Amino acid sequence: MVFFSISEYYERITKTKHRMANEGIEVLLVTDPANMNYLSGYDAWSFYVHQLLVIFIDEDQPYWIGRGQDASAAFHTSWLEADHVYPYTDDYIQSSEKHPMEFVSDFIKAKKYDKKTIAAEFDAYYFTAKNFMKLKENLPNAVFKDGTNLVNWIRIIKSDQEIECIKIASKIAEGAMQAAFDSIDAGVRQSDAAAAIAHAQIRGTDDFGGDYPAIVPLLPTGDRTSACHLTWTDELFRQGDPVIIELSGCYKRYHSPLARTIFLGMPDENIQYIADVVVEGINITLDAIRPGITCEEVEAVWRRVIEKSGIKKDSRLGYSMGLNYPPDWGEHTASLRAGDHTILRENMTFHMIPGIWLDHMGVEISESFRITDKGCEVLADFPRELLVKPNIRLA
């Protein structure tokens, strides 16, 4: 029932325990849904209630703790044995009287780990301040440590099978971007184009069905292209406007993000110039990437290209990505930016997204890539340029 081999999951657990041992952690509470999936295979849209894996340093298998009605999802999607699935009753759900972390604390006490060193992912999306308060209150003799991104840093180098998933996601991303190009035009309702993109993402390819990406298609247009994280509206696309599309293919929760900008009509010199600089910057930076250099060095290559142009970019150039759940396909490990000394290794995967956002307009052209043994491999095959639809059909 699980997608990867049990031995691959055990290898991931072993790496996790090595890191735990190095940091003096005896119990790790894993709430990040991507980390839960990575270690156990667990895959359900149940992260809107409190759930986690508990990893004891001297036990082979993690324990899944979650809502009663989701225990069946643990049986269906994870490799954990039945006695490692610990559901709590429904009266813990969104209650002002009971909290799931009380149940978790009781479990840790029953396992006699309540005087040990326990780490939790303090800055993970679904590990709330209340979670930590309840743990501290109910486990007064435990020592707590920060386990944020402990598992994420193991995820940064992908196995060959994970790379296969990301490559399938890249094919899905190509199809979704093609659907965007085909459907976006002046006079078309934005939501109709977004529907076509989502259809292509979820349908997938003839051979591989798509999964839901961790972020819906981002689709700002006109003035709104200055705001990269806006979604569509039910207004019509207008002649003379740029449209930014940032999307991802997703397969078995693995992502391959891709962004392009389409101009509806003939682009003016300004936007064409920005797009040309961005494409030149991407090309030169991709050429310079090889295993052994640092994230900071990658960003420095990009910065040298763009500095000549007079265009400013304040935000990071890109980030590691792969397995994920909403609200983010980014891995929260390495970023392509000054100060990040992470050394590039084979089978790391990044999204390089040199977005340029000015006061009333923006341009995004991006590529996802894999570090190879000698350099890097761009994942999706889609024209790397400002896309133009000059033949406008007004509705």
Interface of this chain with its own copies, residues 203 to 222, rule: CB under 8 A? 203-204, 208-212, 215-216, 218
Question: What residues between 268 and 307 interact with its own copies by CB under 8 A?
Answer: none
Q: Which of 21, 60, 130, 270 binds its own copies (CB under 8 A)?
A: 130
Q: Does 22 bind its own copies (CB under 8 A)?
A: no
- Taking the complex as a whole, how short is the minimal distance between the CB of residue 374 and its own copies, in angstroms? 29
> Whose Cβ is closer to its own copies: residue 26's or residue 70's?
70
Residues 323 to 362 in contact with its own copies, rule: CB under 8 A = 326-328, 330, 332, 335, 337, 339, 355, 357, 359
Please report whether residue 120 would count as binding its own copies according to CB under 8 A: yes
Please report, for residues 141, 184, 194, 195, 244, the alpha-carbon distance to residue 234 in angstroms, rounded to integers and kept in the order given: 55, 13, 10, 11, 16
Does 148 contact its own copies by CB under 8 A? Answer: yes
Closest CA to 118 of 7, 189, 202, 20: 20
122 touches its own copies (CB under 8 A): yes
Q: Are 149 and 224 in contact (CB under 8 A)?
A: no
Number of residues that bind its own copies (CB under 8 A): 86
* Contact of 39 with 12, CB cutoff 8 Å: yes
Query: Given the complex with its own copies, which of 189 and 303 has the nearer CB atom?
Result: 189
Tell me which residue has tokens 């490990």.
333
Shortest spacing between CB 353 and its own copies, in angstroms: 11
Q: How far apart are CA 301 and CA 282, in angstroms?
A: 10
48 forms part of the interface with its own copies (CB under 8 A): yes
Interface with its own copies in residues 231-260 (CB under 8 A)? 231-234
* Residue 13 or 127 with smaller CB distance to its own copies: 127
Residue 19 contacts its own copies per CB under 8 A: no
Cα angle: 170, vertex 257, 334; to 5 degrees:
115
CA distance 148 to 332: 10
Query: Minimum Å distance from CB 169 to its own copies?
Result: 13
Q: Interface residues for its own copies in 23-42 (CB under 8 A)?
A: none
The smaller minimum CB distance to its own copies, of residues 62 and 210, is found at 210
Give the residue carrying structure tokens 């409190």: 50
Q: Whose Cβ is closer to its own copies: residue 195's or residue 311's? A: 195
- 377, 366 in Cβ contact below 8 A? no
What's the CA gap between 168 and 160, in Å, rounded?
13
Min dist CB 91 to its own copies, Å, is 7
Residue type, 164: E
Least separation in angstroms between CB 373 and its own copies: 28
> What does the alpha-carbon distance between residue 383 and residue 204 come to, in Å, rounded to a whole number?
20
> Among residue numbers 302 through 321, which ones bind its own copies (CB under 8 A)?
314-316, 319
Query: Measured between alpha carbons, how far is 266 from 38 in angstroms, rounded to an integer?
Result: 46
Tell me: does residue 161 bind its own copies (CB under 8 A).
Answer: no
Of residues 62 and 362, the one with the C-beta less far from its own copies: 362
Q: Which two tokens stand for residue 190?
A: 């934005």
Return the structure tokens found at 211: 């999964």
Q: Does 226 bind its own copies (CB under 8 A)?
A: yes
Long-range contacts of 68-73 (CB under 8 A, 24+ apart): 70/44, 70/46, 73/42, 73/43, 73/44, 73/46
Give the footprint of its own copies on residues 52-91 (CB under 8 A).
68-70, 72-73, 75-77, 89-91
